[in-house]
């Protein structure tokens, strides 16, 4: 994303993000779960963004592994950090919803367990990048590919196995008054994700320049 798009996108993201609570407040309550079901307007979009971060990290890691492109590696580490951030948002909003709806904080069912494992996978990626030493970039890239291939299992788990978690048919069948705020929040989170990714990637580029200058100085 070019620098020219960054500022307009930041304004759009901030505006949409600020308007989201108003739209959510005006949306009707869900029939069986009541007020607490409004967590869906944040909980589901953050998991969409987590999956997006995982896919970007995985694909960029693949490009880095097979084509040795440093720019792909910088994109991968940026996306991994965002995947962990949005995953953390999902893993905190989910139990808050579950406590009221299901009566327990964490059910250890298939969906929640696989989602936790996916999050830990990318926490491991970041730890490997930070503390793994020389050559850890390639190792971490392999880990990112493994994480990316887990996403379909996380997504379809609710349809294949018996679980407390709602199935994937819920979002496509949301009624109009709920679908509008929901998709608004998805687009707001997408704009926020792109702004964060752009900023984080720029940070990696600056760090790469600092490293090159340090090497030139040492010579």
Smaller CB separation from another protein, 66 or 130: 130
Q: How far is the CB of 38 from another protein (least distance, A)?
A: 6
Q: How far is the CB of 188 from another protein (least distance, A)?
A: 11
Q: What are phi and psi of 34, to 5 degrees?
A: 75, -145
CA distance 106 to 154: 16
Q: Decide: helix, strand or coil at residue 161.
A: coil
Q: How far is the CB of 142 from another protein (least distance, A)?
A: 26
In angstroms, the first-to-last Cα distance of the chain is: 34
Burial class from Cβ neighbours inside 10 Å (0-12, 13-18, 19+) for residue 124 reads middle
CA distance 93 to 98: 9
List residues binding another protein (CB under 8 A): 17, 21, 31-36, 38-39, 42-43, 46, 85, 88-89, 92-93, 96-97, 99-101, 192, 196, 199-200, 203, 206-207, 209-210, 213-214, 216-217
Smaller CB separation from another protein, 65 or 119: 119
Smaller CB separation from another protein, 89 or 139: 89
The Cβ of residue 2 has, within 10 Å, a number of other Cβ atoms equal to: 6
Smaller CB separation from another protein, 11 or 96: 96
What letter would DSSP give residue 34? B
Q: How far is the CB of 144 from another protein (least distance, A)?
A: 20
Smaller CB separation from another protein, 32 or 173: 32
Q: How far is the CB of 73 from another protein (least distance, A)?
A: 17
What letter would DSSP give residue 35? G
Place of tokens 């990696």: 204
């Amino acid at each position: 994303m070019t620098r020219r798009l960054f500022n307009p996108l930041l304004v759009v993201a901030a505006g949409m993000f600020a308007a989201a609570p108003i739209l959510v407040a005006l949306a009707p309550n869900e029939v069986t779960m009541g007020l607490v079901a409004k967590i869906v307007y944040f909980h589901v979009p953050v998991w969409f963004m987590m999956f997006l971060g995982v896919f970007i990290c995985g694909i960029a890691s693949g490009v880095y592994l097979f084509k040795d492109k440093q720019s792909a590696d910088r994109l991968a580490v940026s996306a991994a950090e965002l995947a962990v951030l949005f995953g953390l948002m999902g893993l905190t909003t989910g139990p808050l919803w579950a406590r009221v709806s299901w009566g327990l904080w964490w059910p250890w069912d298939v969906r929640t367990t696989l989602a936790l494992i996916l999050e830990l996978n990318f926490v491991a990626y970041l730890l490997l990048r930070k503390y793994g030493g020389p050559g850890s970039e390639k190792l971490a890239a392999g880990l990112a590919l493994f994480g990316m291939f887990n996403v379909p299992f996380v997504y379809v788990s609710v349809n294949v196995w018996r679980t407390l978690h709602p199935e994937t048919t819920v979002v496509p069948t949301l009624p109009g008054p709920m679908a509008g705020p929901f998709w608004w929040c998805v687009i707001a989170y997408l704009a926020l994700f792109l702004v964060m990714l752009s900023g984080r990637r720029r940070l990696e580029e600056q760090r790469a320049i600092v490293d090159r200058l340090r090497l030139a100085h040492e010579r």
